[in-house]
């Protein structure tokens, strides 16, 4: 199962479109906030993706009706996703990890910091795909790819 994860596009529709169209056979496309208008445009222009797109509201998604978090049950796993600002991710991941564990999730996705993170810790697979619009860590714009198979979970962050 392939899952594409993107965050913080901040008006860069072109990069969002490029990422999603690069992997047209993904089961899920997850946007972690701060780019809801970009995502809305993508869905209008590529309606065949609608049923496979999930979005959470970021701190810059003014007036959003999207949830602050979501949980996605998968065979043998459960994803917890949020933008991250409600969990203070700029100061550490403790609150975020506690929230994921309390919900029975083993994969944690967040954005907000515009800084890539890809690690396993405390029994959790944790990913921040960085920013597709404005990275803050000196790297290129990026996105995440999660591949879940019977062999396990593989998470990667790639340049756009």
CATH code of residue 50: 3.60.21.10
Of the chain, the end-to-end C-alpha distance in Å amounts to 21
Cut 0.85: pTM above it:
yes
| 142-149 and 152-159 strand pairing | antiparallel
Per-residue pLDDT of the chain (160 residues; tens, 9 = 90+): 999 999 999 999 999 999 999 999 999 999 999 999 999 999 999 999 999 999 999 999 999 999 999 999 999 999 999 999 999 999 999 999 999 999 999 999 999 999 999 999 999 999 999 999 999 999 999 999 999 999 999 999 999 9
Domain holding 114, by residue range, is 2-159
Using only C-alpha atoms, the chain has a radius of gyration, in whole angstroms, of 14
Q: How many structural domains compose the chain? A: 1
Token couple for 87: 């969990």
């Amino acid at each position: 199962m392939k899952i594409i994860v993107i965050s913080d596009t901040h008006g860069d529709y072109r990069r969002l479109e490029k990422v999603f169209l690069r992997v047209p056979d993904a089961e899920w496309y997850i946007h972690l906030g701060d780019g809801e208008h970009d995502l809305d445009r993508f869905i209008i222009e590529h309606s065949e993706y609608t049923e496979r797109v999930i979005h959470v509201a970021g701190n810059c998604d003014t007036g959003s009706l999207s949830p602050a978090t979501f949980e996605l049950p998968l065979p043998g796993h459960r994803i917890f996703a949020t933008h991250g600002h409600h969990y203070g991710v700029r100061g550490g991941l403790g609150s975020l990890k506690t929230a994921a564990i309390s919900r029975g999730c083993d994969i944690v996705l967040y954005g907000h910091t515009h800084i890539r993170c890809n690690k396993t810790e405390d029994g959790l697979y944790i990913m921040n795909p960085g920013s597709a619009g404005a990275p803050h860590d000196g790297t290129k714009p990026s996105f995440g790819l999660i591949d879940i198979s019977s062999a396990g979970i593989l998470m990667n962050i790639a340049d756009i």
